[in-house]
Amino acid sequence: MPNTQWKPPTIPKGWTATKRIYGYWELNCPHGVGHPDPRDPNLKDGDGIHGCDGCCSQLHRLTDPTADNPNLQNP
């Protein structure tokens, strides 16, 4: 059963969050490309396929909850 209450707790500065009709969240980088949020418990195999511009490597680092990162904001 999908967790419909979950939403991104923080997002990188300059990014936006969008809930997709498929039930998972995408974080949109400053270049306008949507990247599935790797923390989303609703993300299923195959949902991570997207037109990546390389910002995913930055996204995984910036959304790491163990990192002390001043570049995060509340969505």
pLDDT in tens, 12-64: 888 999 988 878 888 899 999 988 888 888 887 777 777 788 888 777 766 66
As for how many domains the chain has, the answer is: 1
Closest CA relative to residue 26, chosen from 54, 45, 49: 49
Structural domain contains residue 52: yes
The verdict on residue 2 lying in a domain is no
Q: How far apart are CA 47 and CA 13, in angstroms?
A: 24
Which residues lie below 8 Å from residue 58, measured CB to CB, with a gap of 6+? Answer: 12, 29
Instruction: Let me know if residue 5 belongs to a domain.
Output: no
Going across the sheet that includes 16-19, the strands are: 16-19, 25-28, 34-36
Indicate the DSSP class of residue 27: E
Q: Other CB atoms closer than 10 Å to residue 45's CB: what's the count?
A: 6
Global pTM value: 0.69
